[in-house]
Amino acid sequence: MTSKPQTIKQFANPQEIADAGQKIYDTKFRANYESKYAGQFVAIDVTSEQAFVAQQPEEAFKQAQEASPKGIFHLIKVGSSGAFRVSYNSHASSDWLFR
């Protein structure tokens, strides 16, 4: 049995990453995380749909990046309605930044 090579979804801008990350969070994690991890940070790898929770945003991102070095991440403060949201891809082209 041969496996297909994993294709990594491409995003045109940070808003697409944020939208994908928010959708994953809302459908897979929100119900459980809102009661267990309020005030903590969750980094969502939008390529694998995995979540990494930590007290500090840097730690959540570090866990996510160690697990998926080529991942594309969306960071959310659990229980917050937008006070802190960041999307980041350390390996993608940043051409869209300069348009």
Band of pLDDT at residue 88, cut at 50, 70 and 90:
low
- Domain definitions of the chain by residue range: 14-91
pLDDT digits (tens, 9 = 90+) for 7-62: 567 788 889 999 999 999 999 999 999 999 999 999 999 999 999 999 999 999 99
Entry pTM: 0.73
Q: What is the 3-state secondary structure (H, E, C) of 20-88?
A: HHHHHHHHHHHHHHHHHCCCCEEEEECCCCEEEEECCHHHHHHHHHHHCCCCCEEEEECCCCCCCEEEE
pLDDT digits (tens, 9 = 90+) for 63-85: 999 999 999 999 999 988 654 44
Greater confidence (4 vs 24) lies with 24
